[in-house]
């Protein structure tokens, strides 16, 4: 029997298990995923258009900032709803790793078949690269990403560690203060002219030692934070938080200020969640937003233009991302089109699968010399049904297994 074509009904069908109150977040994820895919696919199919657009509007940063705001809203909510670090980590692992593993395996397979190429890793050993990727902190450990888009998952993982750290020391309701502190530090670092080389810690201690230390520290942090002993939980939480705060500012490949802004943006999303759920006030959340936005925009403006960075493009993308999240928030009690929630449901698949498909196209068909909107549309038409398939076969079952295991291990 043939698989059904991708239709709004098919996309809507996979959203039936989603609580309606989260529909606006799914819609935002779907929009962000499509924008990121366009950013990357336009290299192949609309290079001239992209070249003219990027200095004015950084599409990649727009999509990524929307993703980070959504993560900031939902991740602490997930932990606090469970009230258990152990089940939180189980949920995250089964949410993120099954599809990640499937996509990495697919990339390695097409590389072996000679129909796609993976990036070289210089002098780093295969073992070091594998360990760094297994932690999902590879972007912060001086290791090139197997897929370029994996860099954002490193910041997501750092955020998980920080959220758990705050939860274990009972400071998780201070999200707004954390967002403000991080944003102000970003602005101060730019004003003071603090510039660190990319992967500064790696240059100081070496790639291998840093990967070994970070992977062990992360494993210990997760295990201890998930323990029954209150002392071990605090130790594990703090260890993970210190690891994240050491790696993001001092070993990222983005500038120090932008790493801090990324974390501030995620905690801004958390501050909005707290206002929405009555744990804080909307005035407090709005004040936090004003400070974070002002510091982020001021930092980007002061940082200036670079080889692959224009402050105008970054600032416009950032402001539109904040406005998009705000529009979604204002629509949270309205009926969200199921097509958008369906796209949001498969957004993680869309995010991870599209670069593999692009790598195959690059190695076989090649890139276009002239812009072709028809090829761009055809790429999306091929990608989305594939992502429905990966969601149904890998991502969805992984989440189900994670929920079952978490429910089994949930403390009474």
Q: How does pLDDT run across 272-318, given as a tens digit for each residue? A: 999 999 999 999 999 999 999 999 999 999 998 876 789 999 999 99
Average pLDDT rounded to a whole number, residues 41-55: 90
Query: Residue 4 above 50 pLDDT?
Result: no
What whole-number distance in Å separates Cα of residue 78 and Cα of residue 269? 13
- 137 CA to centre of own chain: 12
Average pLDDT rounded to a whole number, residues 164-182: 96
412 pLDDT band, cuts 50/70/90, is: low
Return mean pLDDT, the chain. Answer: 91
Cα-based distances in Å from 179 to 182, 260, 264, 270, 317 = 5, 9, 4, 9, 19
What whole-number distance in Å separates Cα of residue 4 and Cα of residue 101? 26
Quick count: other Cβ atoms within 10 Å of Cβ 112? 10
What whole-number distance in Å separates Cα of residue 130 and Cα of residue 110? 18
For the ranges 80-94, 231-245, 333-347, the one whose mean pLDDT is highest: 231-245
Residue 305: how many CA atoms within 13 Å on its side-chain side? 7
Query: Residue 19 above 60 pLDDT?
Result: no
The proportion of the chain whose per-residue pLDDT surpasses 70, expressed as a percent, equals 94
Residue 372 pLDDT: 87
Quick count: other Cβ atoms within 10 Å of Cβ 217? 18
Residue 10 pLDDT: 54
According to DSSP, the residues that pair with 306 across neighbouring strands are 309
Residue with tokens 């070289």: 120
What whole-number distance in Å separates Cα of residue 181 and Cα of residue 216? 28
136 with 154: CB under 8 angstroms?
yes
Residue 367 pLDDT: 75
Query: Residue 67 above 70 pLDDT?
Result: yes
Average pLDDT rounded to a whole number, residues 20-25: 78
369 pLDDT band, cuts 50/70/90, is: confident
Average pLDDT rounded to a whole number, residues 60-79: 95
Of 259, 265, 296, whose CA–CA distance to 137 is shortest? 259
61 with 318: CB under 8 angstroms?
yes
155 with 263: CB under 8 angstroms?
yes
2 pLDDT band, cuts 50/70/90, is: very low
157 pLDDT band, cuts 50/70/90, is: very high
351 with 147: CB under 8 angstroms?
no
What whole-number distance in Å separates Cα of residue 29 and Cα of residue 32? 5
What whole-number distance in Å separates Cα of residue 293 and Cα of residue 286? 10
Average pLDDT rounded to a whole number, residues 144-173: 95
Query: Residue 16 above 70 pLDDT?
Result: no
Query: Residue 195 above 70 pLDDT?
Result: yes
8 pLDDT band, cuts 50/70/90, is: low
104 pLDDT band, cuts 50/70/90, is: very high
Nearest-5° Cα angle at 203, 199 to 207? 85
According to DSSP, the residues that pair with 309 across neighbouring strands are 306
Cα-based distances in Å from 247 to 15, 41, 186, 253 = 36, 30, 15, 10
Query: Residue 35 above 90 pLDDT?
Result: yes
DSSP characters for 295-308? HHHHHHHHH--BTT
Query: Residue 100 above 60 pLDDT?
Result: yes
Average pLDDT rounded to a whole number, residues 147-163: 96
Question: What's the pLDDT tens digit per position in 217-256?
Answer: 999 999 999 999 999 999 999 999 999 999 999 999 999 9
């Amino acid at each position: 029997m043939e698989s059904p074509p991708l239709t709004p009904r098919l996309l809507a069908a996979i959203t039936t298990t989603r609580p309606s109150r989260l529909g606006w977040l799914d819609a935002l994820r779907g929009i962000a995923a499509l924008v990121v895919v366009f950013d990357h696919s336009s290299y192949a199919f609309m290079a001239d258009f992209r070249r003219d657009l990027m200095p004015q509007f950084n599409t990649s940063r727009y999509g990524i900032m929307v993703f980070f705001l959504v993560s900031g809203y939902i991740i602490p909510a997930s932990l606090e709803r469970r009230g258990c670090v152990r089940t939180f980590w189980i949920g995250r692992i089964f949410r993120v790793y099954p599809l990640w593993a499937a996509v990495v395996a697919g990339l390695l397979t097409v590389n072996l078949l000679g129909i796609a190429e993976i990036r070289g890793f210089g002098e780093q050993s295969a073992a070091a690269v594998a360990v760094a990727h297994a932690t999902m902190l590879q972007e912060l450990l001086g290791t090139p990403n197997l897929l370029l888009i994996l860099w954002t998952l490193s910041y997501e993982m750092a955020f998980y560690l920080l959220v758990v750290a705050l939860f274990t020391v009972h400071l998780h309701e201070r999200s707004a203060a954390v967002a403000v502190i991080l944003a102000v530090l970003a602005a101060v670092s730019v004003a003071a002219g603090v510039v660190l080389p990319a992967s500064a810690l790696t240059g100081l201690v070496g790639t291998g030692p840093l990967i070994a230390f970070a992977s062990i520290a992360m494993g210990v942090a997760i295990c201890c934070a998930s323990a029954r002993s209150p002392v071990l939980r605090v130790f594990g939480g703090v260890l993970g938080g210190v690891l994240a705060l050491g790696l993001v500012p001092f070993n990222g490949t983005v500038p120090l200020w932008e790493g801090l802004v990324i974390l501030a943006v995620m905690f801004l999303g958390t501050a909005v969640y707290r206002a929405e759920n009555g744990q804080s006030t909307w005035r407090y959340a709005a004040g936090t937003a004003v400070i974070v936005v002002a510091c982020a925009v001021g930092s980007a403006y002061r940082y200036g233009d670079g080889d692959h960075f224009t402050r105008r493009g970054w600032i416009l993308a950032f402001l539109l991302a904040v406005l998009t999240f705000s529009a979604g928030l204002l629509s949270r009690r309205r009926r969200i089109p199921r097509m958008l929630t369906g796209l949001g449901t498969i957004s993680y698949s869309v995010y991870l699968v599209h670069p593999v498909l692009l790598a195959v196209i690059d190695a076989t068909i090649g890139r276009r010399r002239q812009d072709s909107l028809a090829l761009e549309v055809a790429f999306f038409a091929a990608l989305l049904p594939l992502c429905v398939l990966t969601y149904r076969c890998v991502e969805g079952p992984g989440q189900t297994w994670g929920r079952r295991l978490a429910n089994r291990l949930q403390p009474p």
